Amino acid sequence: MFLSEIEVRTALSYEALIPAIRMALLDYSAGRVEQPARTILRAGNAADWRNGWFAVMPVIYGDVMGVKTVTFFPGNGELGLHTHMAVVELLRRATGEPLAVMDGRLITEMRTASVSAVAIEALSPLHFEEAPRSLGILGSGVQARAHLAAFKRVWPELEEVQIWSPTAANAQRLADEIGGRAGPIEEAAGAEVVLTVTSAQRPVLEGRWLRPDALVIAVGATGATMRELDDETMRRCFVVAESRECVERESGDVRLSGAKVGAEIGEILANPGAAAIPRGRVLFKSVGMAIEDLTAARLVWEGCDGR
């Protein structure tokens, strides 16, 4: 069966997805997930920053298998189209039978925000003496909104949201929607928790703006040659990744700065007491993994009476 984005939206909730993603990240770090590197091809549709890419992401986990095909075309915003589009196929592991094919755009949106929510919930009590109350967001698009929706499920103490965007009108629009404030990047970067969800080619967040105890959640700048964080940010933060292998292979912020990954979030979830999270700055970096898409796709299939 094919499930449209409307059907995905009806079946998928953060209340179910966040704990499922938490378990998937635990299992990934424990070696219970078979997930090869994603294959990425450049589309060649443009010679500049609008050049898109096409990726294939297979995975096996538990009694199901899946593959996501996803595209990222940064110039689509100028055409009134989503920059990310995707399709997810879910299969039965025992027989290889296709169970469902579904639109993957919303799955990508929600699983990305859910991973960050898991990281916030796990890292905050280990890093801060008191629950943080301020969030700075660099970016004002789909992922900024998705993260705010996901954070509400795990961060009840959040009181203040400061937003910056390269387009000031977009930052103000989001601020008006959620009751936050739009302003200079330095102010957003001065929050206790800083979320970066940009499509930057070069660093926009400078380490000199961060608090000494900042927690940075870095999600944007997808690609091994793209960056949204400067060298000071990368080198002065303790880096936690959703996957060492994936982040060291696919994150331009990590590869080009020479920063080292100190821990995987799944390792911290498995044994918080053994996590040596410093009192200085901490950075959580995600690049997205097929196991996260498969986890969301299974929830959608089950929610649509797949069983």
Give 274-286 pLDDT, tens digit per residue.
Answer: 777 877 999 999 9
Do both 263 and 296 map to the same domain? no
Do both 192 and 71 map to the same domain? no
Tokens standing for 172? 């103000």
Is 240:260 a contact under the CB 8 Å cutoff?
no
Tokens standing for 90? 């879910």
Do both 121 and 223 map to the same domain? yes
Tens of pLDDT, residue by residue over 170-189, are: 999 999 999 999 999 999 99
264: helix, strand or coil? strand
Q: What is the CATH number of the domain that holds 39?
A: 3.30.1780.10
Do both 150 and 90 map to the same domain? no
Long-range contacts of 32-35 (CB under 8 A, 24+ apart): 32/61, 33/59, 33/60, 33/61, 33/291, 34/59, 34/60, 34/61, 35/59, 35/60, 35/61, 35/289, 35/290, 35/291
Do both 268 and 147 map to the same domain? yes
CA–CA gap between residue 135 and residue 178 (Å, rounded): 12
Given this model, what pLDDT does residue 284 score?
Answer: 98
- The mean pLDDT of 142-159, rounded to a whole number, is 96
Do both 97 and 19 map to the same domain? yes
**Cα separations (Å) of 194 from 42, 184, 207?**
31, 14, 11
Tens of pLDDT, residue by residue over 49-76, are: 888 889 999 999 999 999 999 998 988 9
Do both 207 and 139 map to the same domain? yes
Q: Is the pLDDT of residue 307 over 70?
A: no
Do both 15 and 121 map to the same domain? no
Do both 99 and 130 map to the same domain? no
* Residues 6+ positions from 214 with CB-CB distance below 8 Å: 191, 192, 193, 194, 281, 282
Do both 35 and 103 map to the same domain? yes
CA–CA gap between residue 285 and residue 264 (Å, rounded): 10
Given this model, what pLDDT does residue 50 score?
Answer: 86
β-partners of residue 283 are 216, 239
Domain carrying residue 60: 2-107+291-303
Output 1 or 187, whichever has higher pLDDT.
187
Given this model, what pLDDT does residue 77 score?
Answer: 82
Tens of pLDDT, residue by residue over 108-133, are: 999 999 999 999 999 999 999 999 99
Is 103:86 a contact under the CB 8 Å cutoff?
yes
Cβ burial of 224 (10 Å; 0-12, 13-18, 19+) is middle
Do both 37 and 162 map to the same domain? no
Given this model, what pLDDT does residue 190 score?
Answer: 97
CA–CA gap between residue 182 and residue 127 (Å, rounded): 27
Do both 201 and 59 map to the same domain? no
Helix or strand (DSSP H, E) at 91? strand 84-92
- The mean pLDDT of 222-237, rounded to a whole number, is 92
Tens of pLDDT, residue by residue over 29-47, are: 999 999 999 998 988 888 8
Q: What is the CATH number of the domain that holds 156?
A: 3.40.50.720
Tokens standing for 33? 């997930």
Given this model, what pLDDT does residue 48 score?
Answer: 86
Number of domains into which the chain is organized: 2
Given this model, what pLDDT does residue 306 score?
Answer: 58
What percentage of the chain exceeds 70 in pLDDT?
99
